[in-house]
Amino acid sequence: MTTVPGTTPYPWPWHGRFDPVRLALLAVACPHPADRGQVVDPGHPVEVLAGQVRGAGGLIISVRVRPPGWPPAPPAEAPPRRPDQVVHAAGWDGFHGSDLDSVLRAAGRDLLLLAGCCLELGVHSTMRAANDRGYECLLVEDACGSAAPDLRQGALSTIEMSGGIFGAVGSRSAVATLMERS
Amino acid sequence: MTTVPGTTPYPWPWHGRFDPVRLALLAVACPHPADRGQVVDPGHPVEVLAGQVRGAGGLIISVRVRPPGWPPAPPAEAPPRRPDQVVHAAGWDGFHGSDLDSVLRAAGRDLLLLAGCCLELGVHSTMRAANDRGYECLLVEDACGSAAPDLRQGALSTIEMSGGIFGAVGSRSAVATLMERS
Amino acid sequence: MTTVPGTTPYPWPWHGRFDPVRLALLAVACPHPADRGQVVDPGHPVEVLAGQVRGAGGLIISVRVRPPGWPPAPPAEAPPRRPDQVVHAAGWDGFHGSDLDSVLRAAGRDLLLLAGCCLELGVHSTMRAANDRGYECLLVEDACGSAAPDLRQGALSTIEMSGGIFGAVGSRSAVATLMERS
Amino acid sequence: MTTVPGTTPYPWPWHGRFDPVRLALLAVACPHPADRGQVVDPGHPVEVLAGQVRGAGGLIISVRVRPPGWPPAPPAEAPPRRPDQVVHAAGWDGFHGSDLDSVLRAAGRDLLLLAGCCLELGVHSTMRAANDRGYECLLVEDACGSAAPDLRQGALSTIEMSGGIFGAVGSRSAVATLMERS
């Protein structure tokens, strides 16, 4: 059994079979909906996380989401700077109108870390969709930015309902510990 | 302009072109995730709402969602009792692994009312997915049940972010007023 | 290496790792488009094939397809008689508007046998879609019925283009040999 | 009633309500599967068709398809040279893993002309998928290239089965006549 220590509400992944060759980081980036499309930047934490994940053999995917109907022009500056792959979605859900599912399947990655921005919008929609498709998901809480800080805790608690209904929640240091071990 | 009075954060629908022949009620039903699959029943309010919508010419669709991996066996007793159509999804999102999009398109329905249970789970996932697909959505707040009442307000506020990022929120009486007028 | 002898244009599966726990038979059934919905019945061959596949540990899925816009009312009498699972699609492609992908993933089945009716319509659309999703497919030629016999050979040759562009083609006896060996 | 004269097996579109603001040309382009990815170029005819369609108010979409598992690197030189939009798919079907459906919906285009290459592969898969989604399709025969000329007639006849099971087939001159009239 290899799991992340300290994740809630269960030690991630639930099946205890962590393996970095099955791991992908989804770094979600969205234009700020109320601010002319400027990227909401969660900043340094995503770069740090990407470095840890890449070092252990995980795949780094930049997932560019957007409000429905917005043009696909992507935020050039969205972290992390050098993803292995860039995926463009046609809505807040990174799987909608994109090849994200194809990319993950072809690469054999079914353990997903979620980070980026915005926690309540694109990250949440993408995590819900990933969970529906059978992916085992961990949201890395301190690598996510919020568009509405007062809704942040509710968004996290919703993931943790009923023993982890959409997956688990953890921190960068928890992930780092797991990466070092594996 | 025909819109629902009193919906937040904007008068629904945003384009002001309400027409009951374009309207569908998605009555979401899910098994209780922690309770052996028993249906979480929002009870009477969904029946009342369905009666109002049907009277005005709207289509009533029972959307049966479920935790990923659960068998499709549907809750027989999910309200409303006599939907025009029953759709079975393969996850919390009513569009995932179902013909919901096909049914709505074939029937020419792009104005959606969302109700049922659970607000934070299947109703939210289905509303997010509908919004990504370009449907104009109104969540009927007092026709939705909650699995976690303390997360209810956050779920509603998330919909209302940035001027209604996933649609609008209203009440059964607001809908009733609109139905009578049209 | 375990492959089916005599399949064209390559020994199936291409990776040589046949394993019945990864196998599913998709038995496609469609209403006859020109004949009031009566099922086009490929008859006995599908039952024979299903028996062989089940005996080896394969999963039997009845895939009910239909012309776009037709109601989902399924042909009750479509063979095989006792599938492990029934899937209803919203078009000629068995993956469209259905939970077929979810069912296969949850069951860990990525080696697919295709049979049923009609070869040029639902079987072909479903095989093309399965191939796009990364499934390794074998069409069992003498377990498929045709709506237009003069188009049958072209449909088979299209699968075999460029070294097997949509998969491979084989016979029931080839499959039987493989089942006995494994 | 406005329809294209001389299309088979029925005057397109079937409902007789042609309107260029509802029209889009899907110009499919694929790498040659057996030839290191070089684009199969149907050449001049696609440019001519695109000019006619654009002149009448139709939308020009370049649909880049590819064999499953191939990287998304698109053929830069695929005609037409200046599409209004470029869509990248994750398989032979232009709708699979792409935002094609979102683009068409957002633009209100439900009448589709199909052209490009290869008729038996990407064009056919995309037309089948479009038909399943309720789009009304016309394949422009003399603007399509073939990877296997001996399979070309069968591919066309399959579309025309049972009164036009996947849509209709016409020529550039038939389309030109319709464009001039409207």
Q: Which residue of D has its CA nearest to C161?
A: D148
Residue pair D7/D16 in contact (Cβ under 8 Å)? The answer is no
What is the rounded CA–CA span in Å between residue A125 and residue D180?
46
Q: Which residue of A has its CA nearest to D99?
A: A97
Residue ranges of chain A whose pLDDT lies below 50: none
Q: Which of C145, C31, C127 is nearest to C78 (CA)?
A: C31
Q: Which residue of C has its CA nearest to D122?
A: C128
Each residue's pLDDT tens digit, D127-167: 999 999 999 999 999 999 998 999 999 999 999 999 999 99
Whether residue D124 lies inside any domain: the answer is yes
Q: Which of C179, C131, C127, C172 is nearest to C21 (CA)?
A: C179
Whether residue D15 lies inside any domain: the answer is no
Determine the pLDDT at residue C73: 63
Q: What angle do CA A21, A25, A30 make, to 5 degrees?
A: 160
Segment D26-32 mean pLDDT: 88
Decide if pLDDT at D74 tops 70: no
Decide if pLDDT at B65 tops 90: yes
Residue numbers of the domain that contains C52:
20-181
DSSP D28: E
- All chains having 3 or more CB pairs closer than 8 angstroms to chain A: B, C, D
B:C CB pairs within 8 Å: 31
Q: Which of C157, C119, C126 is nearest to D153 (CA)?
A: C157
B:D CB pairs within 8 Å: 10
Whether residue B116 lies inside any domain: the answer is yes
Residue ranges of chain C whose pLDDT lies below 70: 1, 33-43, 73-76
Mutate to test the interface with A, among B158, B159, B166 (most CBs of A within 10 A): B158
Whether residue B80 lies inside any domain: the answer is yes
Determine the pLDDT at residue C113: 98
CATH number at residue B31: 3.40.50.850
CA distance D51 to chain C (A): 31
Decide if pLDDT at B2 tops 60: yes
Determine the pLDDT at residue C21: 96
Of C102, C105, C134, the CB nearest to A106: C134
Determine the pLDDT at residue C30: 87
Q: What is the ipTM metric for this complex?
A: 0.94
Each residue's pLDDT tens digit, B146-167: 989 999 999 999 999 999 999 9
DSSP B98: S
Cβ pair A106:D69 closer than 8 A: yes
| HSE of B138, CA atoms in CB hemisphere, 13 A | 32
CA distance C92 to chain D (A): 7
Whether residue C137 lies inside any domain: the answer is yes
Determine the pLDDT at residue D178: 87
Each residue's pLDDT tens digit, B162-181: 999 999 999 999 999 988 88
- All chains having 3 or more CB pairs closer than 8 angstroms to chain C: A, B, D
Q: Which of B114, A146, B92 is nearest to A155 (CA)?
A: A146
pLDDT band at B37 (very low <50, low <70, confident <90, very high): low
Q: Which residue has the higher pLDDT, D103 or B2?
A: D103
Question: How much is the mean pLDDT over chain C?
Answer: 91
Whether residue C7 lies inside any domain: the answer is no
Whether residue A9 lies inside any domain: the answer is no
Determine the pLDDT at residue A71: 80
Residue pair D20/D182 in contact (Cβ under 8 Å)? The answer is yes
Segment B58-68 mean pLDDT: 95
pLDDT band at B3 (very low <50, low <70, confident <90, very high): confident
Question: How much is the mean pLDDT over chain B?
Answer: 91
Q: Which of A107, A117, A102 is nearest to A64 (CA)?
A: A117
Whether residue D13 lies inside any domain: the answer is no
Decide if pLDDT at B55 tops 80: yes
Determine the pLDDT at residue A34: 63
Residues of A with CB under 8 A from a CB of B: 33-34, 67-69, 90-93, 96-97, 120-121, 124-125, 128-129, 131-134, 147-148, 150-151, 153-155, 157-158, 161-163, 165-166
Determine the pLDDT at residue B76: 66
CA distance D129 to chain B (A): 12
Determine the pLDDT at residue B44: 80
The total domain count for chain C is 1
The DSSP code sequence of chain C is -B-BTT-BSSPBSTTSB--GGGEEEEEEE-B-TTTTT-B----HHHHHHHHHHHHHT-EEEEEE---TT------TTPSPSS-SEEEE-SSSSTTTTSSHHHHHHHHT--EEEEEEE-IIIIIHHHHHHHHHTT-EEEEEEEEEE-SSGGGHHHHHHHHHHHHHSS-EEE-HHHHHHHHHH-
Determine the pLDDT at residue C181: 82
| HSE of C129, CA atoms in CB hemisphere, 13 A | 27
What is the rounded CA–CA span in Å between residue B93 and residue A173?
32
